[in-house]
Amino acid sequence: MARYLTVSAAQMGPIHRSDNRNDVVERLINLLRDAAAQNAELVAFPELALTTFFPRWVMPVEDADEFYETEMPNDYTQPLWDEAARLGVGFTLGYALKTEDNHRYNIYHMVDKRGQDVGIYRKVHIPGHQEYEPWREFQHAERRYFEPGDDFPVWNAFDAVVGMAICNDRRWSETYRVMGLRGVELIVIGYNTPLHYAPDPSQDALQGFHNALVAQSGAYQNGTFVVVVAKGGVEEGVDSLSDTLVVAPSGEILARSSTRADELVVADCDLDWCR
């Protein structure tokens, strides 16, 4: 008998600096409800899904505190937790975390169908730079704002072996391989990817190709489903990729987004296919 898991990748359109968290969380809840109406059991939200992609600016790190969460759930996000538990739908949520001892991480947080924590992943491959670089049209200063994680754990959840990764992690074969060796059956990856790559603009036209290439190869080489979910569109003047995918263990794309806005991409994943 097949083991099916219905997964929904909840792509998001832009979040601007002026947008408040209450409005953003309401968008997340609307996506969650729509996914539940399509029988989704797990909803994947993107990287940094609560705020704009703030590493595009260089500022004193303490001035960026407004973009970090210090606990989760909190007053803003508790309604998302409550609605997920009411609907019986789990989710993964990307956000910036500042710990009590002042460590800062790019986080992916997995929650089960009862609204209980499954696990937290800390982004390992931190791209970009640390100091202001005037030759860039916009900054990509993630190394200023985040410390790297050091592992790719997997969790037994949703009757599956599930792992998480974030954005630049998807470009490295080790990401998939470490989880593959741990028996992973589903990898969820949230991202924010500008279409313009300042160090080598010749790659700008290849952003969608590279996004699919690494997801498909990672899935095929490790016999796992891979979900990559975007926050894209033009955000604070920066045009970003909106190419949300669900990829099968065969490397085939099962479902793909067609807009640059908030959109659900839903697929029924037969987890036994991973064998």
Active site residues: 47, 123, 167
Length in residues, the chain = 275
CA torsion sign, 266 to 270 to 271 to 274? negative
Distance CA 46, CA 67 (A): 15
Q: Is 162 left (phi over 0), alpha (psi -120 to 50) or beta?
A: beta
Distance CA 238, CA 24 (A): 19
DSSP string, 151-190: ---EEEETTEEEEEEEGGGGG-HHHHHHHHHTT-SEEEEE
Distance CA 27, CA 244 (A): 17
Quick count: other Cβ atoms within 10 Å of Cβ 117? 12
